[in-house]
Amino acid sequence: MIYQVLANLVLLAHAAFIAFVVFGGVLALRWPRMAFLHLPALAWGAFVIAMGWICPLTPLENTLRNMAGNEGYSDGFIEHYLLLAIYPPGLTRHVQGLLAASLIVGNLAVYVRLYERIMRK
């Protein structure tokens, strides 16, 4: 029972981290110091996507699920839980690179706005 709870907590933390990577720049518009947390998270998230790596939270969750007597999954978090919702079938490394670039460009636009706001003060 405890391993199942821990696996679910890792799952929630993983989902929260992904949401922070994608939308953390918006938080930085409201709280500029949030950028000190968001920029490293953004760099990590974009790098993991671009390189096609599996986030370390995925094997941790799988281990906890196995310890709970459940089956883990062989692919990454996004592929297992969000692939059909976010990515089209037939995801290629090229598409992953484009997604990473989109993540960076989208957040760059947010940070340009934040920079302009700070410079106006």
Per-residue pLDDT of the chain (121 residues; tens, 9 = 90+): 898 889 888 888 888 998 999 999 999 999 999 999 999 999 999 998 888 888 888 889 889 988 988 776 666 555 566 555 555 566 678 877 888 899 999 999 999 999 999 898 7
pLDDT at res. 50: 84
pTM: 0.76
In this structure, are residues 42 and 110 in contact, taking their beta carbons and an 8 Å threshold?
no
Domain of 94, in residue numbers: 2-120
Q: Which positions ≥6 away from 58 have C-beta within 8 Å? A: 14, 73, 76, 77, 80
Number of structural domains in the chain: 1
CA distance 76 to 115: 35
Reference 18, options 87, 68, 65; nearest CA is: 87
pLDDT at res. 78: 56
